Amino acid sequence: MPYKEREIKKTFYSIGEVAKMFEVNTSLIRFWEKEFDIIKPIKSKKGNRQFTQQDVDNFYIIYHLVKERGFTLQGAKDKLKDNKEGSIENAEIVKSLVKIKDFLLNLKKELE
């Protein structure tokens, strides 16, 4: 069986790294942290936020609801409160479809 390199995941992400993942400003990350109680970063002794993979996943759900589906902040809060599992499932489906789209576009480019 051929060796397959595993994707390395970090334990903690800085606020800058999280902002870069979603192509938003760090101020929006801080704002969403205050607005949504599902985001709970660990703060270092210096006061720097350290986000876990769970926090990043929660940011993806919030990003999907607010930026991609057009929910208001209150609407996104209500959606997460009423049906968090459904929101997570929808966000995961969208993430999978984006990966498939990227794969197909790369395949098309290679065939041309």
What would the two tokens of residue 105 be?
A: 């576009």
Number of C-beta neighbours around residue 38 at 10 A? 17
Q: Where are the domains of the chain?
A: 15-111
Per-residue tokens: 56: 């990043």
Using one digit for the tens of pLDDT, what is the confidence trace for 60-94? 889 988 988 899 999 988 888 887 777 777 778 87
CATH top-level class of 15-111: mainly alpha
pTM for this predicted structure: 0.72
Confidence band of 8 (pLDDT split at 50, 70, 90): low
